[in-house]
Amino acid sequence: MESIGTREPAIDLMRFLGLVLIMVAHLNLPADNIWFQLRTFDVPLMVFVSGLSYSGRSIQSYPAFVAKRAARILVPVYLFLTVFFLIHWATAAAGWTDPVPQEKIVGSYMLRLKPSINFVWIFRVFLIVMLLTPPLVALDKRVKGWLPAVLVFALMLAVQHVSILTLKPLKAGWFIDDWVLYAFGYGSVFYLGLAVRRSKPMQLLAIIAVLAAAFIPMAFGVAASKGSWLKMQSFKYPPGVYYLLWGALMSVVLWAGRKLWVPVLNWKPFLFIGSNTCWIYLWHIVFGYPYYRSDAVPYIWKFVLFLIVPSLIVFLQVMLANKLSQRGPGWNKVMKYFKG
């Protein structure tokens, strides 16, 4: 097992894989497409990797941690959204594009799925996980052994399931629907990432076996009720147990097998993308918003627009930010929000 605290290519490459899977989702493939369903562990994978990153760390001050992490998430997002909407306002005023409805603008700043421009809800997931990080890190330090950790994961899944059953029908408002009903679900996957970082190979295999033993019977049940087990997307909003188990299973499989696949992907461009997923994702919205649902653009060109072009833009952006950071501490404090 690698020592915790060292930078591992596997973590950045897993972020890269997660981002690629998200871009595949945004190609707007048919819902019954096998690849569209199989890649649904994309967001859980990103959350799982966040757990890997925080495993073994100590968080001294909850308010300081939240303030710092919230700024790292929200400053780039709100900066991007403000420029994005100003440009759309100008182009709409010129008659070149349709105006963005006000409710979509407000919903986007609230990081809602709907009404919004549809792409920014994932940052709400990261905020939820950020709020849960200190207590889950503390819990991880107290729980010893892979089996107790899996039991904690199972308990969190159970709470998530009960929350959906009891709270979702109430339609109690955006806070319950957008925040509470996502907390234990994605929190469970984050916790699993914390726990498996210190697990040995045989323990990882045991965890995979337990996850598979839980997922496979559910897959048969879903197939019996919906005609196919490939229905993970149907359990995504809010995250249901079936969707979360698939995400957790695939994430642990990738982590356990990293010595096999990392040498294949261990390439500087992929590592760069994996370490700058936030801004690459934000820049992809520029192209995703007008072309996401367009059938006129072939899938391969969508993928180029959604991943390759934003990656090149961010490469230039990071180069500029690094140069400006050298001008002094003040510049460095500002420029850090344009990287990562």
Q: Identify whether 271 is part of a domain.
A: no
Backbone angles phi, psi at 89, to 5 degrees: -65, -45
Mean pLDDT of the 285-301 span: 90
Tokens 């991943």 found at = 307
Q: How confident is the model at residue 4 (pLDDT cuts 50, 70, 90)?
A: very low
Q: Identify whether 4 is part of a domain.
A: no
Q: What is the share, in percent, of the chain residues with pLDDT greater than 70?
A: 98
Whether residues 294 and 256 share a domain: the answer is no
Whether residues 54 and 90 share a domain: the answer is yes
Does the pTM surpass 0.85? The reply is yes
Q: Identify whether 146 is part of a domain.
A: yes
Contacts of residue 321, Cβ cutoff 8 Å, sequence gap at least 6: 335, 336, 338, 339
pLDDT at 147 over 60: yes
Q: Identify whether 269 is part of a domain.
A: no
Tokens 């107790």 found at = 148
Q: Where are the alpha helices (DSSP H) in the chain?
A: 9-25, 34-38, 42-54, 62-93, 102-109, 121-142, 146-167, 174-175, 181-196, 201-226, 241-256, 258-265, 268-275, 277-291, 299-303, 309-325, 329-335
- The whole-angstrom separation of Cα 118 and Cα 111 is 9
Q: How confident is the model at residue 6 (pLDDT cuts 50, 70, 90)?
A: low
Whether residues 216 and 243 share a domain: the answer is yes
Whether residues 290 and 314 share a domain: the answer is yes
Tell me which of 263, 290, 323 is where a domain ends.
263
- The whole-angstrom separation of Cα 222 and Cα 238 is 17
Confirm if 43 and 247 have CB atoms less than 8 A apart: yes
The three-class DSSP label of residue 4 is strand
pLDDT at 8 over 60: yes
* Nearest Cα residue to 195 out of 233, 246, 144: 144
Whether residues 205 and 305 share a domain: the answer is no
**Cα–Cα distances in angstroms (integers) from residue 74 to residues 109, 120, 123, 190, in the given order:** 10, 11, 8, 20
Q: Identify whether 58 is part of a domain.
A: yes
pLDDT of 32 reads 87
pLDDT at 1 over 90: no
pLDDT in tens, 231-264: 999 999 999 999 999 999 999 999 999 999 999 9
pLDDT of 224 reads 97
pLDDT in tens, 164-174: 999 999 989 99
pLDDT in tens, 62-104: 999 999 999 999 999 999 999 999 999 999 998 888 899 999 9
Q: How confident is the model at residue 294 (pLDDT cuts 50, 70, 90)?
A: confident
Confirm if 198 and 56 have CB atoms less than 8 A apart: yes
- The whole-angstrom separation of Cα 113 and Cα 321 is 31
**Cα–Cα distances in angstroms (integers) from residue 261 to residues 40, 266, 323, in the given order:** 20, 9, 34
pLDDT at 319 over 50: yes
Whether residues 321 and 258 share a domain: the answer is no
Whether residues 237 and 309 share a domain: the answer is no
Whether residues 113 and 194 share a domain: the answer is yes
pLDDT at 200 over 70: yes
Backbone angles phi, psi at 4, to 5 degrees: -70, 135
Whether residues 141 and 244 share a domain: the answer is yes
Tell me which of 263, 287, 319 is where a domain ends.
263
Question: Could you give the number of structural domains in the chain?
Answer: 2
Whether residues 243 and 126 share a domain: the answer is yes
* Nearest Cα residue to 285 out of 130, 77, 50: 77
Q: Identify whether 2 is part of a domain.
A: no
Domain that holds residue 321: 276-340
pLDDT of 5 reads 44
For the chain, the first-to-last Cα distance in angstroms comes to 26
Q: How confident is the model at residue 292 (pLDDT cuts 50, 70, 90)?
A: confident
Going by the DSSP 8-state scheme, the letter that residue 162 receives in this structure is H
* Nearest Cα residue to 77 out of 261, 281, 275, 311: 281
Q: Identify whether 332 is part of a domain.
A: yes
pLDDT of 239 reads 98
Tokens representing 27 are 């190609």
Whether residues 189 and 315 share a domain: the answer is no
Q: Identify whether 270 is part of a domain.
A: no
Q: How confident is the model at residue 17 (pLDDT cuts 50, 70, 90)?
A: very high
Residues linked to residue 4 through DSSP beta bridges, in sequence order: 6
* Nearest Cα residue to 299 out of 74, 23, 4: 23
pLDDT at 287 over 50: yes
